Amino acid sequence: MVITRDTPFSPEDDNYHKLSDNPLDLETNWWAINIPGRRIGIWLHTAYYPNRDLVRSRIFAWDPRGADPARLIYYKNVETPLGPDPDMRDIQYPQGYSLKVLEPLMAYHLGYSDPERNFALEFEFHAAHPPHRFTPGEAPCVDNPHIDQLGRFTGELTLYGERIPIDCWSVRDRTWGPREGAHAASTKYAGQAKTRVLHPGGPRWREIERERGRGRIQYIFGHTDDQTGFLSFVRPQDGDAYGRSPLNMGWLLKDGRFTRLDKAKSWMRNYRDKDTGWSQHMEVLLVDEEGRSMEAEGFTVSHMCEHGAGSNALMRWEYDGKIGWGEDQDGWRVDHFSRMLGALRTAR
């Protein structure tokens, strides 16, 4: 069977897949929640390595009070064995994270509890559309199947004993297959420093940001409801000297209709904080394959920095006279980020 961007997913895709014997095979599920009134972002993420009998669960929540793991309002990153033949359609992970399918591919119930930290999550996700498949063979997922899906999250967060309602529009995703060092530097640029920048010029920090072969990845999205919003991967490596980075895959949601982006016409321009180097403000132009368009402007309101370089940021977006919420996931290698930040801070 030839898989194209239009090949639908099946109910079997809610379960773990039979992959290969590659030790780098990995299957994930990820859920992103926002609580705008408190500037809180929340992640639940599991990564399962079937050939190593290992599952890593990362659950964290952040707000403006702190970005590194020690200062987040909650952070837990735990690896444990999972056992034979796990069924993700109704599973209780050893870390206290449960997931159950309510309607195949469309509705789910999730829970998590850490009594020692007085932290808990209980919510349902109801999708606004069948899951979208990213185009096979294109970055960043290349040949690994990838699901992105918008839906409504409703439930409750318990934080330091306080019970906080959850009611937001946000995204879940899944992917499976070998990672093969997907976030590491590409070897094809080794020894070719002069060719790393496709379009030289502009501010030096932007030039460093768009060096190719550095493993840069950026993912942005924002939604108001099931009528308006967007999602895309950004390709800083292909950006121009004016700071416009093309968008690669994703969707425009306008008037309640999802359409694929025209990656030759859609772009994002990012403005970074001179002290932290993190995204601060973005301008986005979205044009779909039908020629429909939308301009979006976003501001970061809180950050989570797990690995000491870029951040996952909760974003407030404005577009088409509406306000939406979402994220900027800004992934860097530490050495690359440090060079960019040095150029951003340079006084002379």
Tens digit of pLDDT at every position of the chain (348 positions) = 788 888 999 999 999 999 999 988 999 999 999 999 999 999 999 999 999 999 999 999 999 999 999 999 999 999 999 989 999 999 999 989 999 999 999 999 999 999 999 999 999 999 999 999 888 778 777 778 999 999 999 999 999 999 999 999 999 999 999 875 544 444 455 445 556 999 999 999 999 999 999 989 999 999 999 999 999 999 999 999 999 999 988 999 999 999 999 999 999 999 999 999 999 999 999 999 999 999 999 999 999 999 999 999 999 999 999 999 999 999 999 999 999 999 999 998
Counted residue by residue, the chain has a size of 348
| Domain locations in the chain as residue ranges | 26-178, 193-345
How far is the C-alpha of 29 from the C-alpha of 102, rounded, in Å?
A: 16
Q: Where do we find the tokens 């973005």?
A: 282
pLDDT in tens, 310-343: 999 999 999 999 999 999 999 999 999 999 999 9
pLDDT in tens, 173-183: 999 998 755 44
Q: Quick check: 340 and 209 in contact, CB under 8 A?
A: yes
How far is the C-alpha of 197 from the C-alpha of 186, rounded, in Å?
A: 14
What predicted TM-score, i.e. pTM, was given to this entire model? 0.94
The CATH fold assigned to 193-345 is AttH-like fold (2.40.370)
Decide whether 26-178 matches 193-345 in CATH topology.
yes
Supply the CATH classification number for the domain 26-178. 2.40.370.10
Strand partners of residue 259: 252
Q: Using alpha carbons, select from 211, 271, 269, 259 the residue that is nearest to residue 237.
A: 211
Q: Which residues contact 127 (CB under 8 A, 6 or more apart)?
A: 105, 106, 107, 149, 150, 151
Coil/strand/helix, residue 145? coil
